[in-house]
Structure 1
Amino acid sequence: MVAPSSTYRLQLRPGFGFPEAAAIADYLDALGVGAAYSSPILTPVEGSTHGYDVADTSQANPELGGEQGRKALVATLREHGLDFVVDIVPNHMSVEVPAQNRWWWDVLEKGPASEFAGYFDIEAFPVLIPVLGSDDDIDELAVKDDRLTYYEHEFPIAEGTGEGSAREVHERQHYRLVNWRRAGAELNYRRFFDVTTLAGVRVEKPEVFEATHREVLRWVAEGDVQGLRVDHPDGLADPGGYARRLVERSGTWVVVEKILEPGEQLPESWGVAGTTGYDALREVCGVFVDQRAEAAYSELARSLDVPVDYPALVEECRQLITTTSLASEVRRIANLVVGVDPMDARRAVAELMVAFEVYRSYLPEHEQYWAAAVDRVRTAWPELTEAVTALDTQVRADPTGELATRVQQTSGMVVAKGTEDTAFYRYSRFIALNEVGGSPDHFGVPVAEFHAAQAVREARWPEAMTTLSTHDTKRSEDVRARLAVLSELPGEFADAVRRWSARVGIDEPTLNLLAWQTLLGAHPISTERMTAYLDKAAKEAKVRTTWVDHDEEFERAVADWHAAVVADEQVRDEVAGFAERITAPGWSNALGQKLLQLAGPGVPDVYQGTELWDFSLVDPDNRRPVDFEERRGILARLDEGWVPPVDATGAAKLHLVRTVLRLRRDRPELFTGYTPVHAQGPAADHVVAFERNGLVAVATRLPVSLPGWEGTTLEVPEGTWTDALTGRPFSGQVGALLADYPVAVLVRGEV
């Protein structure tokens, strides 16, 4: 396994497929990228804009250019010395359009007799398909061209069952079309989280692994793919076994999309290179947050009636998920617990899901997390002691059995839906911390903790991926960098929010506080983008409206909010003025974040377009097209010797990115080892720096309260050191080093 020097994430989609990716290979090469890293490229449901809804694992996506386009892209990447890393989705497949997934179609047609019945995680037949708008819509079924239809939906008819009315035909099938609202409590097949159109796949079975991975492994064997990124391993029955099998079969660099809580480590027995880097994101972004502001932001939230008790909020949100969208999963697990009252079993399972401090345990590894969750339930709910003890005993007796497996698969779903997709939208105290892999109740990361985490990564996971922005992040790295500035201005921000809210507030406190922070973090932002974001945020928070049960009046008020802000001249101008004030410090934080990520331990990923400033919000906002011609033009100027200022063009960020990526590619020996470097003097706390092996990265933190650099020095190992960004030699004085940029890339000797 050979890890790339770096990766550059590309979101392929119809309109930006294999030919378009090939067309920018020369740009990626010039930028210094080690590998093009693509979103899933197996065939998804038609029209997919992201590729995670794979419907056919046997071929490259025709809408991206098909096999011919894939081969042409690989050839072009090879010409430019670029590796190719591909995202794969082993946990689930799309069943949204049954006819486009031949395995699912066969299962619906033949039921348990289908050769593919064991490919999907189906509890019982008939399979419930939640597509009807209401129970009365059963009368809207029709039989057309030997298919059972419901408006645009089409389903197979088992052989010899097509006579009679549509209702009679329907009653003879191996599936039942039901009201979509029944999915949460009654669905009888495993899915991806609560998405009924993504059915769980049983890759733990050797024949299913082979069928789902045959094409991808062919690409690897033929030298077309040099790395694999595994989506959502926590949904698998046996993540460790899967990972070991994939590493053994592929023999290539493998990273897994695993969310680690602070202090948690990936099981080394998996044999993979590491995670996709959300743990690094938390560490890097957190070091730019002023921890001294925590009390002030808690007080602001409390005064606005926004929750400040994070553990209690998380518990509330997870409990909501176990009783609504994932109630069917809880029911299915409870049915496996023997010897206790069924209702107690269901409550015990639900509370156990709520109690996990990590996404899932990996029994028998990481047993301590399982034990901690069990103890928590026993303590909090004494009346459930018998049920939870029975559950614990049964799981420990057979840690690879069905009960243990389903509990582990489901805990990650509850944590993700309850925490990331609910609590993160309700706990709006300081949203720069509300990020995938983040811990909003940990107000920033101390410098010492940051250094300790990097040392662990270098020692144990030197080829793990690191990242700052992905297609799944709640907001881009540059939005978070600007929001981090607010931690240095808690009083001014609090006064402004109270003043603005009194004039143009949203009548729901958590969304109101989130909206003002978002407006500043992404400013300037169009009404269309802001409105789309707030609509999603309101529905994910599930306070006044949800994706399922709409409060139309509230949603209209939310939709009108940004326009109202713009129409209020005083608020509009004050927001613009505040945003302008935090813009330059935000640039400083953004450059600092990027340097620490790019130069630090691990394999850094650059999300598409983020080599310039990028103020995207949650998907689909962060999947907007990227202007590569603009980036080509700036890169060409840099190659001519231009040393850009730090300004709105973002050229300084591209300068930093191409400088470090090229060094990683051309001088990999510089990026080994890890030693913290400490400043001395009045502004020492405003420096975060480390040395690798002949390279020192220096970044500014807390720029608003920076008193100036006079008298502040930095001791680096002996030798002559040159800043690769400016070409200037380093004299030991931080002020001279950071005169042009808030960051420096010192290289021993001449650059």
Structure 2
Amino acid sequence: MPSAIPRATYRLQLNENFTFDDAAAVAPYLKALGISHVYASPFLKARAHSQHGYDIVDHNSLNPELGGDAAFERFSAALKRNDLGLILDFVPNHMGVHFADNPWWLDVLEWGPASPYADFFDIDWDLLPYRAKGGVLLPILGNSYGEALDKGEIELRYDAGSGSFAAWYYEHRLPIAPERYSEILRIIASAAGAGNEPAGRAILELAARYTGLRHPDRGEAPAFKAALREIDGAEAIITRGLEAYRAGAGREAQTKALHSLLERQHYRLGHWRLATSEINYRRFFDINTLAGLRVENVRAFKAAHALIRRLVAAGQLQGIRLDHIDGLHDPAQYCRRLLRLIRDAQETRAPFYLVMEKIVGEGERLPEFPGMHGTTGYESLNLISRVLLDGKGLETLDETWRQASNVAPDFAPVLRAAKQRVMETLLASEFTVLGRLLARIAGGHYTTRDFSADSLRQALELYVLHFPVYRTYITAAGPSSNDRALIAETIGKAKADWFGADEGVFDFLQDALTLELATKDRATHGRERVRRFALKVQQFTGPMMAKSLEDTAFYRYHRLLALNEVGGDAAATSLPVKDFHDAMQARARDFPHGMTATATHDTKRGEDARARLLALPELAGEWASLVGRWKSFNAPHIVTEGNMRSPSLAFEYMLYQALIGAWPETIDADFLARMKAYAIKAAREAKVETSWLNPQPSYERGVETFLERTLDEKKSPEFLSSIETFTRRISTIGILNSLSQLTLKAMMPGVPDFYQGTEFWDYSLVDPDNRRPVDFKAREAELADISKQPRWDDLITRASDGRIKLAWTHHLLTLRKTHPDLFANGNYLPLEVTGPHRDHVIAFARVHRREAVIVAAMRWFSPFTDGGRTWLNGAIEGAVRIEGLHAGAPSRTELPFAELFAELPVATREAAVRRAYKKAARGPGRAA
């Protein structure tokens, strides 16, 4: 069996085109590569044709499109034959809703608050605008409700197999509350003229048996439906009678009848745009078809984890990656329950690997949740990028960005504007719910009832705009000292930005957020309501930051796209090597088994595209000059229409970087199509000239036209020649950066995670581009060839084909396999570098007892490659000092750069710890 702590994980994207059987087929290859655990995308039953699996509709069934139970058993057996563990990307925060495939959601629509699943979803039943009856808003219509009725797009149907009624809007099934069935049957029988037919009389007799408000109720409904099914001839009569509800133009009575019926359901149908202002169920970010789950509810938790428990008990699951943990009501409580479930399911309390998708903000300390080994690795991704970045060129890039885009290099105003836009559009509904709840709390006590709803909303808005991280982690017991300090600091910044009269509104808001209003002596404000507000704010700030930072600001601010990465800071500077060492020692001490990643399914571009772009500061002067030339070359290709310029100045600058990052061997129709798709997504995410909510076809057509013209050899020969020449140089430095990036990821503290296909160069764009099929057969064939004895000189001459990356990946994973305890439990020891070029090298040792592995990686390659025109020339001067470590000759105290980097920009050396040095080698870290 594989170790409880993975040696290395490999992410597989499962879908209908890559099933359990396909995954089973690559198991031998992954074992040969050096992987210990497959890290699978969600494989529970998801919406039909889902390409990612996050829209789960049944937590307790395996996805039939992946092959179902039988195929999973074959997959599980293949993993065991190859000594591979399995880690599941599990989604506890939300489910796919609407359509006709989620039984829990459909039951809620049918029975409303009386459904046993009603409290599984985070629904504010009483906050349905313009309607006295409570319910849930369903923003599913493509046009207005009235228009959908008049066009006959909403249709009442009878399902003879179940004896039930439902309205249908295209593929959306909308169950009718059974308490309305008697009324429907009477109207249908009358419309069908079936009162004297035997079946008609039976229908009317059945309807007469259930009279009065709310009948048939939940207990009576199964018998009612069964009786209706058994009436011979009922289906024919009902089919005729449904004409009484056949809405459409010229059918005013029928349209009103259907409208009257729909208005008395536990839901209200609405245009999809209403979701931005009136939705009353918590969503995953701004996605209407993903409804938030309340796993803090014990029944909901048990129901959503029954299959997980069975897989753990069967020994078919060795780890879980928790998706979007910041969306949960109380992550710490959830982790405790999950850990208890896992331990109860196991025959023995074997270690189980648990990591969480969590973005750690600048200066934020990762919460220590029960059982969690760490995060999925975005913080390590950004640390690696920054330590490989040459900061000396950033000032030039700042000025180039300013001149090319007319946008200042200060990132804070860009993020602030992005937050404002998201709060006013995508997440306006969720913010409105919070504002109403805060006003209700204030109105509940005589000391605060004079705070107007408007002033409270403005104060809360300023708080959210200034909130610097994804969320706090307050529980019903109250905030930690860190959370209390964070709230106070944010309130202070919000108050400084307030221009109204301060009559204590911010003090009130702070007391609500910290649960001071819920203490015994102040419980008159409504303890449960205050708790609900404070905990819901936490669930709001996470999506707010994600949509504002990752999905808006990163698509507006393009000073250096390599830094616009999930969990990163677009305005970041280069990270000093000492700070990198400090971070690694803290990681070895606190979270030695968290994942380290350089690419995921959510990263904004491929890891090697990012490594290319990290080279731009090294050639910043040339870059600035080239951008000016390219803008001149391409001026005739800009599309103008009135005041519209397509692409905008800022977007044009972004496109040049995106092209360099993704530049292929050959410019063809496929590359043009990929760039177009990326450009439209990037423009809509930016929400400036166009957006998902309000697409501007003329601007988007202009962007596509610009790309068509600039990538056409006949129309843009000078531009294509110039960018290809420059990209060839950037690519050389990028390849060297990539090898250093790979080395740091695989050798630093943590579990290296490899996204599918990235053993070869990965120049992909953001999803769905990074989810294209992977040619595993090609990788398997190359690995079989090069794993015997890599010839680095041969691999270097063919570096562009990716085989050198595959070979180095295999080498690093072999080291991890050879020294499992060292990499699982070893310390991180910074090594001193000396000589004229010491700033170009990062060196450290992983040490455990008498074992050690010395690691060295170069950075800032322009001086050693003639600006990317040649491969690494070996002229780097200096050495890595290795006192206390025995590598080679017994008396050796240093490893010269010329020896370490004779062929590659990276090096590893197995070593031993000298007895006299053993204590010092422990360093500040500790074994896990």
Alignment TM class, shorter chain as reference:
over 0.9
Q: Once the 2 structures are TM-superposed, how far is the Cα of residue 270 of structure 1 from its aligned partner? A: 3.6
Q: Which runs of 5+ in 2 are unaligned?
A: 126-133, 159-164, 185-244, 246-256, 344-351, 443-448, 520-529, 639-645, 866-873, 914-928
Alignment match, 2:788 = 640
Classify the secondary structure of the residue corresponding to 1:732: strand
* Inter-partner Cα distance in structure 2 for 1:270 and 1:511: 44
1:713 counterpart letter in structure 2: A
What displacement does 1:356 show?
1.1
For these two proteins, the number of residue pairs brought into alignment is 744
Alignment-derived partner of residue 578 in structure 1: 726
| Number of the residue aligned with 2:400 | 300
Q: Where in structure 2 are the equivalents of 1:611-630 lying within 5 Å?
A: 611-630=759-778
What displacement does 1:88 show? Answer: 0.3
Counterpart-to-counterpart distance in 2, 1:686 and 1:484? 14
SS of the counterpart of 2:551?
Answer: helix
Distance verdict in 2 for CA 1:636–1:731, change over 3 Å? farther
| 3-state SS of paired residue (1:100) | coil
Instruction: Determine the structure 1 residue equivalent to 2:674.
Output: 529
Q: CA deviation at 1:202?
A: 0.1
The answer to whether the 8 A contact 1:478-1:615 is kept is yes
Query: How many angstroms apart in 1 are the aligned matches of 2:567 and 2:647?
Result: 30
> How far apart, in 1, do the equivalents of 2:893 and 2:65 lie?
52
Aligned match for 2:284, one of 168, 185, 192: 192
Q: Map of 1:382-461 to 2, 5 A cutoff?
A: 382-383=499-500, 385=502, 386-396=504-514, 397=516, 398=518, 401-461=531-591
Give 1:482 deviation, angstroms: 0.4
1:686 aligns with: 840
Matched, 1:129 2:246: no
* Shift in alpha-carbon separation, 1:221–1:384, aligned structure 2, 3 A: farther
State the shift of 1:502 in Å. Answer: 2.4
Cα offset for 1:722? Answer: 7.0
User: Partner of 1:550 in structure 2?
Assistant: 695
Q: CA deviation at 1:395?
A: 2.4
* Alpha-carbon displacement from aligned partner over 1:267-312 (angstroms, at most 9, x marks no partner): 1244411111100001011111111112111111111213422111
Greater mean alpha carbon deviation, residues 77-86 or residues 1-10: 1-10
3-state SS, counterpart of residue 336 of structure 1: helix
Measured against aligned partners, the alpha-carbon deviations of 1:148-197 in whole angstroms (never above 9, x if no partner) come to 12233221111143634332221121111101111111001000001010
2:787–2:807 Cα contact (<8 Å) kept: no
- Tell me the residue number matched to 2:175: 156
Partner of 2:435: 334
* SS state at 1:401 partner: helix
State the alpha-carbon separation in 1 of the partners of residues 499 and 697 from structure 2.
41
Alignment partners' CA distance in 1, 2:820 and 2:893: 22
Distance in 1, matches of 2:721 and 2:711, equals: 9
Q: Which amino acid aligns with 1:696?
A: I
Letter in 2 for 1:630: A
| DSSP 3-state at the match of 1:674 | strand
Measured against aligned partners, the alpha-carbon deviations of 1:472-501 in whole angstroms (never above 9, x if no partner) come to: 000111011000011101111111112112
Deviations 1:351-395 (CA, angstroms, capped at 9, x unpaired) = 221111111111213312222211111111142743332121122
CA distance in 2, matches of 1:681, 1:489: 24
SS of the equivalent of 1:268 reads coil
Q: Distance in 1 between matches of 2:62 and 2:68?
A: 5
| Percent of residue pairs identical | 40
1:493 aligns with 2:623: yes
Q: State which of 343, 346, 362 in structure 1 corresponds to 2:473.
A: 362
**1:44 and 1:52 in contact (8 A); partners too:** yes
Match of 1:539 in 2: 684
Q: 1:313 aligns with which of 414, 432, 437?
A: 414
SS at match of 1:166: helix
* Aligned mate of 1:375, from 488, 492, 496: 492
* Of 166, 173, 176, the match for 2:265: 173
- Distance change >3 Å, CA 301–CA 660, structure 1 → 2: same
1:565 partnered with 2:710: yes
The 5 Å alignment of 1:605-616 reads: 605-616=753-764
Match of 2:103 in 1: 102
Instruction: Work out which of the two has the higher radius of gyration on C-alpha atoms and give 1 or 2.
Output: 2
- Native 8 Å contact 1:14 1:49 kept in 2: yes
In 2, Cα distance between equivalents of 1:710 and 1:9? 36
Question: Does the CA contact (< 8 Å) of 1:279 and 1:438 recur in 2?
Answer: yes
Match of 1:141 in 2: 154
Secondary structure of the corresponding residue to residue 437 of structure 2 = coil
How far apart, CA to CA, are the structure 2 residues paired with 1:369 and 1:352?
A: 11
- Which segment drifts farther, 14-23 or 370-379? 370-379
Q: Which moved more, 1:263-272 or 1:555-564?
A: 263-272
1:561 shift after superposition:
2.2
Does residue 668 (structure 1) correspond to residue 791 (structure 2)? The answer is no
The secondary structure found in structure 2 opposite 1:248 is helix
Partner amino acid, structure 2, of 1:496:
L
2:368 maps to 1:277: no
C-alpha contact (below 8 Å) 2:882/2:893 kept by paired residues: no
Aligned mates of 2:829, 2:576 — CA distance in 1: 16
Counterparts of 2:456 and 2:633 in 1: how far apart (Å)?
50
Deviation at 1:413, TM superposition (A): 1.0
Q: Distance in 2 between matches of 1:166 and 1:18?
A: 45
Q: CA deviation at 1:141?
A: 1.5
Structure 1 residue 138 displacement after superposition: 3.3
Aligned to 1:52: 54
Instruction: Name the counterpart of 1:207.
Output: 299
1:452 Cα deviation from its structure 2 partner: 1.0
Local SS of the residue matching 2:534: helix
Q: Give the whole-Å Cα distance in 2 for the aligned partners of 1:701 and 1:129.
A: 53
Q: What is the root-mean-square deviation in Å for CA atoms of aligned residues?
A: 1.9
Opposite residue 328 of structure 2, the aligned amino acid is L
1:115 corresponds to: 116
Q: Say which of 481, 500, 513 aligns to 2:653.
A: 513
What secondary structure does 1:705 align onto? helix
In the alignment, the residues of structure 2 paired with residue 605 and residue 206 of structure 1 have an alpha-carbon distance, to the nearest angstrom, of 33
- Partner of 1:149, secondary structure, is strand
Aligned ranges 1:586-601 → 2 under 5 Å: 586-601=734-749
Paired residue for 2:911, among 727, 737, 748? 748
Q: Write the distance in 1 (CA, Å) between the matches of 2:831 and 2:816.
A: 20
Determine if contact 2:602/2:766 at 8 Å carries over to the other structure. Answer: yes
Q: Distance in 2 between matches of 1:718 and 1:319?
A: 56
For 1:703, the equivalent position in structure 2 comes to 861
Q: Which moved more, 1:592-601 or 1:381-390?
A: 381-390
Which stretch shifts more, 547-556 or 496-505? 496-505
Amino acid at match of 2:655: A
Q: CA deviation at 1:731?
A: 7.3
d(CA) in 2 for partners of 1:622 and 1:212? Answer: 30
Q: Gapped runs of 5+ residues in structure 1?
A: 724-728
The question of whether the paired residues in 1 share the 8 Å contact of 2:110 and 2:266 is answered with yes
- Cα distance in structure 2, aligned partners of 1:34 and 1:626: 20
Q: What does the per-residue CA deviation read over 1:622-657, in whole Å, with 9 as the maximum and x for residues that have no partner?
A: 111111111111111122313242311211111111
Other-structure match for 1:712: 878
| Equivalent pair of 1:247/1:254 in contact (CA under 8 Å) | no
What is the alpha-carbon distance in structure 1 between the residues aligned to residue 383 and residue 46 of structure 2? Answer: 34
3-state SS of the aligned residue for 2:854?
A: strand
Q: Does 1:290 align with 2:390?
A: yes
* Aligned-partner Cα distance in 2 for 1:22–1:519: 36
The answer to whether the Cα contact below 8 Å between 2:555 and 2:686 also exists between their aligned partners in 1 is: yes
1:334-359 C-alpha deviation (Å, 9 max, x unpaired): 12221321112222222221111111
What CA distance in whole angstroms lies between the structure 1 residues aligned with 2:340 and 2:816? 27
* Equivalent residues of 2:325, 2:331 under 8 A apart: yes
